[in-house]
Amino acid sequence: MKCIFTILAVIVGSTLYGQTTILDENFDLPTFPSNFSIIDNDGNTVAQDVQEYTSAWILKEDPMDASNGTVSSTSYFSPVDRADRWLITPQITLSSFGNYLSWSGLSHDPSFPDSYKVMISVTGNTIADFTDTITVVSNEAPIWTSHTELLDDYAGEDVYIAFVNTTFNGFKLYLDSINVRVEDPLSVKTEEINLSVYPNPMMDVINLSTGNAIIQKVEIFNSFGQLVLNEEVVDSKTKHSVIVSNLYSGIYFISVETSEGVVRKKMVK
C-alpha cells in the first residue's frame, strides 16, 4: 500500500497597489466551482485506496490543514498507468500589461510525487485548444510550494488556463490559491538562484552557497512534510552551514529563503 502521506471570486475593479485581481479561487466552497471545467482524458480506473476520486478533479481537504479546502487529482490507478486529468479555468480577459498567474501545489506522498503541466489557450477550453505550455512542474514537493508565471505574452487576450496531471504511477496532487492578477507594476525575477548544498547525501553538517543571494532562513522538511529544522540567518552572507546530525536517515526537502526569493532542494541522509 502507498503511504497516505480557497470560493471562486472574479473581482473586477478592486485594486491593490495598482493591480487588479480577476480570478481568485481557493476551493473552500462545499461544491465544485461551477465556472471551472474538468476533463478525464485517461479513462483509468482509480486504485482501491483512492476510491473518493469519482471525478478527474475533486474538492478535498488540505492534508496538512483540515480546515483548508483544495482541489485534488489522483494518478494512482489499477492497472498502473499515466494520468491525463484536466482542470480548466473559466475564460479570463488579460490586460495590456502586468499579467500574472500564481498558485500553490503539493504532492501527498514524497515516495510517489505527482507532476503536472500548466497550459494556456486563446481559442477555447477543449483539449485540442491548448497548444501552449506555460510551465511543467516535475515532482511537486510534499510541502505547499508557491508558483508564479508571467502571462504578458498573451496580453489583451481572452484565455483559458489548464492544470493537467500527467503523472505516471503517482498518488495524490493538491492545488490551491489559483490567482490571476493584471496591471501589476511588479516584475517576477526570472534569474534562477544558484543554490548549492553539499554534501548530498548529508553528513552531520551541510554547507549552503547561493552565489550573490543573501541567505535569510533555512527550513528542512521530512518526507511527511513536517518541519524538522527552522534556522534564521542573521549575519547577511551568501554561504552558511547547518548542523543536521540529529536528523535520521531518509529523504528531506530543504527550503532556503534568500534576498532574491525562495529556492528548494531535495536531500538524502
| pLDDT number for residue 224 | 65
Q: What is the pTM of this model?
A: 0.73
Q: Who's near 116: CB < 8 A, 6+ residues apart?
A: 105, 136, 137, 140, 163, 164, 165, 166, 167, 173
- Is the pLDDT at 95 greater than 60? The verdict is yes
Q: Please write the tens of the pLDDT for every residue from 130-169.
A: 999 998 888 899 989 989 889 999 999 999 999 999 999 9
Tell me which fold the domain 196-268 belongs to: Immunoglobulin-like (2.60.40)
- The x, y and z cell numbers of residue 99, run together, are 499579467
| Predicted pLDDT at 14 | 38
- Output the CA–CA distances (angstroms, integers) from residue 135 to 95, 118, 147, 148, 171, in the order listed: 21, 5, 10, 10, 21
pLDDT of residue 4: 38
| pLDDT tens, residue by residue, 233-265 | 988 799 999 999 999 998 888 888 888 877 878
% pLDDT > 70, the chain: 90
Query: Where in the sequence of the chain do the CATH 2.60.120.200 domains occur?
Result: 15-182
d(CA 228, CA 212): 27
Write down the mean pLDDT value for the chain. Answer: 88
pLDDT of amino acid 8: 31
What is the Cα–Cα distance from 22 to 99, expressed in whole angstroms?
10
Q: Which pLDDT tens digit goes with each residue over 51-69?
A: 999 999 999 999 999 999 9
- Topology annotation, domain 15-182: Jelly Rolls (2.60.120)
Instruction: Tell whether the model's pLDDT for residue 112 goes beyond 70.
Output: yes
Query: Over 70: is that where the pLDDT of 187 sits?
Result: no
Cell numbers given for 159:
484565455
* For range 13-37, the mean pLDDT: 83
Question: Is pLDDT of 192 > 80?
Answer: no
Cell readout for 6 is: 480557497
Whether 242 contacts 231, CB under 8 Å: yes
On the question of pLDDT at 85 being above 70, the answer is yes
Is the distance from CB of 145 to CB of 106 less than 8 angstroms? yes
Task: Please say if the pLDDT value at position 197 is more than 50.
Answer: yes
Residue 245 grid cell? 546530525
Residue 39 clears pLDDT 60, i.e. is over it:
yes
Q: What is the pLDDT of residue 251?
A: 81
Residues of the chain with CATH 2.60.40.1220: 196-268
Percent of the chain with pLDDT strictly greater than 90: 68
Mean pLDDT on 22-27:
97
H-run or E-run covering 206: strand 205-209
- Whether the per-residue pLDDT at 6 is higher than 80: the answer is no
